[in-house]
Amino acid sequence: MEHDASNNRESSLAAPVDFLPPAGEVVTGPAPLPPSPAPFVALDRRVIQLWRISGLLGCAIIALPALVALLFVCHSLLGSAILAFVPWSGVLLFGCLWSLWYPARAYRAWGYRVEERVLEIRSGVWFRVIRFLPLSRLQHVDLHRGPLERAHGLASLTLHTAGTREASLGIPGLADADAESLRDQLAAAGGDDAV
């Protein structure tokens, strides 16, 4: 008798649970899983090169005035301008190495996905930032193509929302065609006064 009861229990546990409860009956148990979200879309890989060039240009713009200031200070205080090259070259080397290393990490951290009612943007190498933009709050979308972006075939989107705190979000490093397509998709899905 025990053997029959255990067989019935095992067969009832292994039976599929493909049934609909009768109308009005409350079913308890785990809630059905929500549909899996869309995967994150990565930026265009060319943005790594763009960020590296921008970083190196930034280092050069900062390094030249810093060198002049250090030469002046070392010559007036120490009587030798050559000593200015030691700290300056160390800082310059660090800035150049950072400009070459960091963009690849930032690229891997960036991504976005558009769902039915929300745009989700993630970024951040050291501190992960995840932003949700309800598409109903989207006011307008700007498409930017600076000289370096145009040279790499890239564009950036700036999304303006109906709010006062952090009312703009940006998505950099999109291929030209992808940026235009995303702009049109977001403008169509945006709020009543989205442009």
Q: Give the tens place of pLDDT for each residue, 95-125.
A: 999 999 999 999 999 999 998 889 999 999 9
Alpha-helical regions (H) of the chain: 2-14, 46-78, 85-109, 147-152, 176-189
Phi, psi of 171 (to 5 degrees): -125, 110
Residues 183, 185, 187, CA angle at the centre, nearest 5°? Answer: 65
User: In whole angstroms, what is the distance from residue 77 CA to residue 66 CA?
Assistant: 16
Task: List the single range of 25-29, 65-69, 154-158 with lowest mean pLDDT.
Answer: 25-29
pTM for this prediction: 0.73
Report angle CA 105, 111, 117 to the nearest 5 degrees: 160
